[in-house]
Structure 1
Amino acid sequence: MGQVDGDPGADAFEAEIGGALRRTGERFVADEGAGLVERGMLNGRRRLRRRRAGAVSGSVAALAVVGLGASYLGGAFDAAAVDEQGVASRPSASAAQSKQQSKKAHGTGPAVSQDRIIGILQGLLPEGKVSGQQGRGTSEGPVPYAHVVYDDGSGKAAIGVSVGAVDPGGSSTAEQLECPDKKFVPYDECRNEKLSDGSRLMLMRGYEYPDRRVDTKLWTVFLVTPEGYTVTASEWNAPAEKDAAVTRPRPPLPLGQLRTLALAKEWRPVMKALGTAPDEPLPQPPAQGLDRASILRKLEALLPGRVKVTDEGGQDAEYAYVVVDDGKGASLVQINVQPNMKDVEDQLFGSGAEVRPDGTKVVTREGDGDGKGGAGIVMWTADTIRPDGLRVAVSAFNSGAQNKDADRSEPALTMAELKAIALSGKWLPGT
């Protein structure tokens, strides 16, 4: 068991959780309006975090914008993650489900205090010094958690655990358990497990910063029980998630030991105090032409003949990507195809937008790939919205992955070619 040291070391984990809750509304995203567009809106977001004003949906690639830390830490927070702008991390419940939520909101066990939750975490750690204890009890906010700075003699390291509740059969939960696409999120290992009792886990040895500008490692175990409780255990090789010098080559607990910590029976009283989450609404199938296969088929048909597709991917609906090569290096090309975006038109298409004869608005942007990509990354974007609210935004990078260094001086597609793809009639309904 860790030995308590009075030094209140780490940065405020509570502030980090608050940020995670706000960012989870889209993930992993804290920018607004055109600023968000300017900083890589095409990276995509998981469907459960689909949209806020000015944001773009897409895939797990949003992890590349803001880092993996709070996103997977926030994975256990989804049942409560609603930011100050009213963005839920999960689809809205129906009236019947709201009734169900009110019935199931209260736990079956007594409240668990902050001190007890911190004590649980400390008791599960190997011998070492513990400082910077922070936490939240089950009656003190939406997400009970414990966070400490742990030192086994080889350097201080932040370790945190949070407990939450989700619909275990919901699509949001399934997405949280997926390993991210390495095109956007670097990691050394990611795997899934299903236990004999039906519990599911995602285990990852990754990095705090997707561009690896600082070698802060983040190792995470995300557990979902058959009853719908979650435990997220995370550790770093630094005394704080961000803005702290790396103190050791790797986090202190081997991934298997972190798994044991997440699975510990000691978290059961915390789960019982939370109660269970309401069922998620069933996901709606993509509208015609907005599924990944359709978007990829149309996108690949619109690419110039000089490029060859070497990889492809995306999410179930509205977002896809390809990696192309024209013989001069790999280039990532991403596309969002989103209907009903009139509500954010003014934010994304200002007075400087080109207005075509049919009323379609067009803006083009050249940026640095959101400022969080690899060295030398540039991103060219053509963004369009039609009078009926159909938005098509296409972006190309001078690298095959946004979080890797540039492979070439410019993207493989010209801005004119990106505009032609975004304006194509192939994206219209029924085509």
Structure 2
Amino acid sequence: MPVDQHDPFEDRLSAALRQAGGTFDTNRAALAAAGQAHGRRLRLRRLAVAGSAASLVLVGVGGALLMPSDGSASEETSSVATDGTAKRASFSADDVIRTLEKLLPKGKFHSQEGRGTHSDLPPYANVVYDDGKGAAAVSVILERIDLSAVTGDNGFDPARLVMPCPKKEAGAQSAFDSCETEKLPDGSVVTVFQGYEYPDRREETKAWGADLVTPDGQRVGVSEWNAPAEKGQPVSRPEPPLNPAQLKALAAATQWRTIIDTLPEQSRMPTPSTTRTSAAPRAASGRVVERVLATSLPAGLKVVSRGHQETEYAYLVVDDGRGKSLVEVNVQPNMADVADQLYGSGSETLPDGTRVATHQKPGEKGGEGVVMWTVDTLRKDGKRVVISAFNSGSQETAATRPEPALTIAQLREIALSPTWLRVG
């Protein structure tokens, strides 16, 4: 699993945010966000040459996708108007966890983890649920989409942003038994998938889920496993507890939309009576980044392992029959203000304003003979997509092939894919 050195500034900032919990007022939250952005920018030169993604640390607890438990602070509470309609407020981690537990069929719960709406990171809940047939991890993550970046002349189409099913010719297809996308009566679009945690099925851990996007830009991602954790624990039942219809119903529950509506709005399309807000887009879910990367691969590549960080980062190890090759991607919002530092001489600017830089150089983690090919892109809206490929399954081990499994042209095509506009 790719790991680089910790950034001390970010470590201190994370600790401070965890200690402060939900006690920030608006101005302090803005300062914290600015500090976090500054910390990220301190790494820019290293990111620009190292493909960016490698410098981030994969986060996990017991192998499961568990976010930091800072959201459990009880100080953060939700509020509801006296007439029963929700007013702009906040929801604590406990609120999100309780909502998930109430929406699931009757059963027992333990090992709850979550985060509320006070954080710069998306709200989520993760529980171990037992309906009497075996313990299973179930999680939900909630996001608000930046509509200004994805609304076309004909308005916003949720189908453009919902998780796409894998292409039939892509190696990632082997990780799925079924995948269907459906438009619901309210205009929402949902993808329901049934697959495996490990694409090569070396373990029997099944990963099922649903990804739903509403016409208002609300996004709900539900995931479940037939084990108490995403990774690292043996299966406890033949299949995850919820069938596809139940997954779809859980993702479509209106309770999630009420919670999402309390998140700061990313932006609105300007109208005569409204102007764009200054709230910055949220970081993309690492799980979604991983899925987009997997479904963007060219034909002939088999995914042998995969993983993701909580936000922004994901990786795949692929094999075309000639040896393993690590592929990493990082998706960062709000990077326009440092474009000149990232894209100097030798970079290009496309007709739509996208900046592109290409790097081919030796790896930097000590693996003998390892080379790293990188395509670094920056859209006009500030979204940066950096993708790197290596001629080894890990940067720390010796090269397993002469060149990475993806060419520069293929990396460029993935990095410039409009699908990334749907992420975050």
TM tier, smaller: 0.3 to 0.5
Answer 1 or 2: higher relative contact order, Cα 8 Å, separation at least 6: 1
Q: Give the greater-gyration-radius structure (CA).
A: 1
